[in-house]
Amino acid sequence: MDEFIAGLPKLELHLHIEGTLEPDLMLRLAARNGISLPWADEKSVRTAYEFDGLQSFLELYYLGASVLVTEQDFFDLTRAYLTRCAAEGVVHVEIFFDPQTHTARGIPFATVLGGIERALQTGEKELGISWRLIMSFLRHLSEEEAFATLEQAMPLLDRIHGIGLDSGERGNPPAKFVRVFARCRELGLPVVAHAGEEGPADYIWQAIRELQVRRIDHGVRCAEDPELLCYLADTRLPLTVCPLSNTRLKVFDQMAHHNVLNLLEQGLCVTINSDDPAYFGGYMNANFQALAHELGASMSQLCRLSLNAVEASWLSLADKARLTREIRSHAACHGVVLS
Ligand code: ADE
Ligand code: ZN
C-alpha cells in the first residue's frame, strides 16, 4: 500500500507555506536573523507541538513565522517544501501565503512574494512541479486590514492566482469579509475560504452564498447539515480536507472517526491535503497512509481522491486531462478498477 501511495500522482490544494517550516530550518533562520525563540533545539520545538485546538496551534505557527525575514528565507522555506513534494510524488501545488503575518513585522510584501515565487519557478524548471499561489487574508484581523493588504498587492496582482481566508475561525465568520471578497472577484481573482473546520456548517453556507467561493478549505462539518451535503454533492464544489491536521487540532478525536471517506462515498468532491505538515506530523504521503491504515481506505478510493484533486485544481483542461491519464494508468498498473 505505501508503495502504491508513493507512486500515485498527487496534487496539493491546501497548504500554508508558513506551515512547512521544519524545526531545523526554524532554528537555522532564527540564528541567521538574530531572532530569539523560546527553544534551544529541535527536540524542544517538537515537544511544544501539542495542540488542544486551532488557536493553540496558531500561536506557535505565528511565532515560528517570525524567523522569516529575507527574500532568501522565503526561498529556502519554499524550496524545502518542493523538495519534499518531488520525493513524495506530488506533481502540482496550490499554496497559501499569509502576507499580513509578515508585513505586520515590517517585511515588505514584495520580499515575501519574491522569495516564494522564485522557489516555485525554480521548482517547476528543476523538479517539474506546477503551481498556483493564493494570497490569504487573516480573518482574526478586520476587513479594513484585508482591504489595505489588497491595496499593497495591487501592483503584484498578476503574480497571484487567487484569494483565501484563514486563521482563527470561531467568531470570525466569512460574512465579515463580504466586501473585500466582492472586490477580489471583480478583479478577476477566484476565491476560496477556510470554513467548517472548527466553525459550524452555517459558515460553509456563508462562504458559498456570500463570498462565492470556488472551493471550501476543510469543510468537514458539512456533515451536520443534510441540505448542505446534498448541495455539495450536486454541485461538486470541492472540499480540501486535511486529515492529519484535523486529528492534531482535535476536529476529530482519532483518525478512525474521520468522515472524509463517508463524504467521498456520498459523491462530494473531497481532496486530501497536508495544511501545515511541519506542525501536524506529515506531508501528503503520510496523510494518504493514515487514510489507508487507520480508516481502511482502498486503493480505488485513494485514486478517486487524487482524481478529485485534478478536478478541483486550477490547472488548464489539457493539464487536467494529462494528470487524469497518469492517475488512471497508475491504478491500472496495480490492477485497481476505477468506476
Ligand atoms: N492557518 C494555517 N493553518 C490553518 C488552519 N488549519 N486553519 C486556519 N488557519 C490556518
Ligand atoms: Zn489551512
Per-residue cell: 88: 513524495
Distance 102 CA to ligand 1 centre (A): 16
pLDDT values of the chain reduced to their tens digit, one per residue, 339 residues: 999 999 999 999 999 999 999 999 999 999 999 999 999 999 999 999 999 999 999 999 999 999 999 999 999 999 999 999 999 999 999 999 999 999 999 999 999 999 999 999 999 999 999 999 999 999 999 999 999 999 999 999 999 999 999 999 999 999 999 999 999 999 999 999 999 999 999 999 999 999 999 999 999 999 999 999 999 999 999 999 999 999 999 999 999 999 999 999 999 999 999 999 999 999 999 999 999 999 999 999 999 999 999 999 999 999 999 999 999 999 999 999 997
The protein residue whose alpha carbon is closest to atom 9 in ligand 1 is 167
Counting DSSP H helices and E strands in the chain, the numbers are 17, 8
Instruction: Tell me the per-residue pLDDT of 84-135, one tens digit each, with 9 for 90 and over.
Output: 999 999 999 999 999 999 999 999 999 999 999 999 999 999 999 999 999 9
pLDDT value, residue 339: 75
pLDDT value, residue 81: 98
pLDDT value, residue 125: 98
Domains of the chain by start residue, with CATH: 2-333 (3.20.20.140)
- With vertex at residue 28, the alpha carbon angle to CA 24 and CA 31, rounded to the nearest 5 degrees, is 145
Pairing of strands 192-195, 215-218: parallel
DSSP reduced 3-state for 132:
strand
Distance 167 CA to ligand 1 centre (A): 5
* Alpha-carbon gap, residue 17 to 164, rounded angstroms: 13
pLDDT value, residue 46: 94
Instruction: Tell me the per-residue pLDDT of 186-213, one tens digit each, with 9 for 90 and over.
Output: 999 999 999 999 999 999 999 999 999 9
The protein residue whose alpha carbon is closest to atom 6 in ligand 1 is 275
Instruction: Please report the DSSP string for 72-121 in residue order.
Output: HHHHHHHHHHHHHHHHHTEEEEEEEE-HHHHHTTT--HHHHHHHHHHHHH
Q: Which of 169, 22, 19 is nearest to 97 (CA)?
A: 19
Q: What type of residue is 315? A: L
* Residue 16 labeled ligand binder: yes
Q: What is the pTM of this model?
A: 0.98
- With vertex at residue 56, the alpha carbon angle to CA 50 and CA 59, rounded to the nearest 5 degrees, is 115
Instruction: Return the ligand number nearest the Cα of 248.
Output: 1
Distance 45 CA to ligand 2 centre (A): 21
User: In testing the pocket of ligand 1, which one of 55, 221, 248, 276 has its CB within 8 Å of the most ligand atoms?
Assistant: 276
pLDDT value, residue 225: 98
